[in-house]
Chains A and B, each alone.
Chain A
Amino acid sequence: MMKIAFEIRKLARSLAVLSAMLLPVLHTAPAHAANVLSWVSRTGSDNNDCATAATPCLSFQGALGKTLSGGEITCLDFGDFGGMAIANSVTIDCLATGGAVSGPDGCGVDPIFISARGIVVTLRGLTVTGNTGCIDFENGIRIDAAAAVFIEDCVVENHTSVGIFDDRNTGLTRLVIKNTIVRNNKSVGILAAAATPPNSVVLENVQSVGNSFGIAVATGNNVVISRSVMSENASAGIEADPGALVVVDNTEISHNVNYGIATLGTVTLANSDISFNNSSISGTTMSYGNNRIFGNGAGTAPTLIGQQ
């Protein structure tokens, strides 16, 4: 306690000295390389250079055309900035304001289509929305080609087909989804259907609800799901095809109409709840003995394996 008092005195003395020292701190304005960062605004125009907050674009597609590879796009305010085809490495970050993405007329065209091999794409703070009243099929985010895709703090909702559809065919690809809600899509919420050699997929704090499947995993996709919710889906919370590898930790799998988990592949379960599904598990799963299976109609008990 005496030491604290001493420090208080020392701080008081330092204040005077520091005040004098800090006055002449240099001012350095960084150079703004045009369109390393591009802006969009609901009052913008795609005829602008989009390089400043005063001259923003109106659409994501317009901003993409004016952003360097590896650059960033941000939202000045909330708006619906339309769909986009992404063929360069880019970070689109509208976490501060929110930013909506919808396809032309909201129907039949995937709002976000990522299509170039080797690129790294981050989508952050976007609401990718469709219209379930449409007749044509559309996916929310379709990843056709890319080395790595990061989806953070997004909502992917109301699409007539898949929410997030990874169908890359190069192998050795990566997908990380964090803090994201995938809701009310007519088909699968998250469809990991990229080619082997493996597609490495990480889901952390993802809620996939009200779709046909929470997540469906094809052969060649290795998925780790943690701290997530795969609930309220029409067919199953988690589905694994033959050859799919899925690690589930600390996740709620509940209220899925048919199955909590439907697997013909390999699924390991740890620290998770499987509750109130018509059937808890269809197929062979592995459990570390620390899951809670409760209130389901029926199902196959998992095979116990040991922790280390």
Chain B
Amino acid sequence: MEMLRCAREKWTPGRSVPFYVDQHRCAGMQFAVDYVALHHKNGVAPGTLRCPVQEGATDMMKIAFEIRKLARSLAVLSAILLPVLHTGSAHAQNPRSYVSHNGNDGNNCSTAATACLTFQGALGKTTNGGEITCVDFGLFGNMNVTLSVTVDCRATGGMAGVGCNSAILINAQGMVVTLRGLTVTASTNCVQQGIAINTATAVFIEDCVVQNNNQFGILDQRTSGLTRLVIKNTIIRNNGSAGIVLQAARVNSVVLENVQSVFNTFGIAVATGSNVVISRSVMSENASAGIEADPGALVVVDNTEISHNVNYGVIAFGTVTLANSDISFNNSSILGTAMSYGNNRLFGNGGGTAPTPIGQQ
């Protein structure tokens, strides 16, 4: 019995094993019992039981081990970081920073009473993964986001932009950026994007208005691939070029829910490499088309109104599937080959190509 067990575990009495777990979390009670018996026989108390994780360990065991290891690492990190943070560095890093129209970027921005005046000032004082919030409504300027951060001004509103550069630039390789409750705007005589995403792992845009920029509203031009973009409850209105442009490298995963993209040149234009799901949205009143898909683009449309676009409702040079949607009052309903689940309403358009029926399952 003992020899069998040792062979299976690649363990011999007296050899140290690398991992520790609680005996009851060993893989299988019988294994644990055998192990206890083995150690007991060798003079090791059951309370100090050791068993190798590699042998049939569950994922939870591995995670638990890693978390303990991380905790140890954090203690070491704290010891390293504490002297840095406490030795008169210019700016403390806040997990949460505040901006206010009465603020000052000379403040530490860590409380509502010591708020920054600009988003850029607050970004410089916020930890990676931290949050920036608005004490009150204000025009907080442009920002260049280079870290993981949530900028949430849902409670008060907050404006970014009005300068003559892209109002929000995201240059945050490997980072996750959330923008919530912001109005991203520009003077219409400036040449600029509203939100330009150059690098980031994932970007979330919620409850925002992106308006009056005289180029794109939202431009996603990431090149790394395997990127993500989610836009929810957002209005993209009156931009001089396309409302939303997706031209990130393959594969960019994009979700739009309750997005109204109106009175731009295109509601949304999708290049090859982006896979997009659009639901409960409105792509209307645009000068060229509501939805445009380049060759190689994949666009799924559900429960969406596509109306009053001057040239086309949908331009499908790529792959577009349509479900539960209205395509109405466009000069032409569809250009190219779109696929329909047979439950769309095409009405009041000047012409257009009927979609190809495909079946629901």
Contact = CB atoms under 8 A, between A and B. Distances in A.
Q: Do A and B bind each other?
A: yes
Contact of A70 (B124, B155, B189, B209): B189
B326 A224 contact: yes
A36 B183 CA distance: 14
Contacts, number: 213
A15 interface: yes
A91 B282 contact: no
A122 B340 CA distance: 35
Interface string A72-109: 10111000000000000101010111000000000000
Given A97-B137, A200-B308, A200-B329, A91 B185 contact: yes
Nearest to A1: B59
A53 B138 contact: yes
B110 interface: no
Contacts of A120: 238, 263
B137 A307 contact: no
Among A19, A27, A198, A204, max chain B CB count under 10 A is at: A27
B288 interface: no
Interface stretch (A5-13, A128-136, A183-191): A5-13
A111 to B, nearest CB: 23
B67 A8 contact: yes
A222 B329 CA distance: 7
Contacts of A290: 343
Contact of A15 (B60, B77, B139, B146): B77
Contacts of B44: none
27 contacts: A5-B67, A5-B70, A16-B77, A19-B84, A19-B93, A26-B120, A27-B105, A27-B121, A28-B118, A32-B139, A53-B138, A68-B187, A74-B159, A89-B188, A93-B183, A124-B209, A148-B285, A150-B237, A174-B308, A178-B235, A224-B308, A226-B282, A226-B326, A245-B329, A245-B348, A249-B345, A308-B346
5 closest A-B pairs by beta carbon, nearest first, are: A5-B66, A96-B157, A30-B141, A25-B124, A1-B59
Interface of B: 59-60, 62-63, 65-67, 69-70, 73-74, 77, 80-81, 84-85, 89-91, 93, 101-102, 105, 117-118, 120-121, 123-124, 127-128, 136-139, 141-142, 146-147, 155-157, 159, 162-163, 183, 185, 187-189, 209, 211-212, 235, 237-238, 260, 262-263, 280, 282, 284-285, 303, 305, 307-308, 324, 326, 328-329, 340, 342-348, 354-355, 357
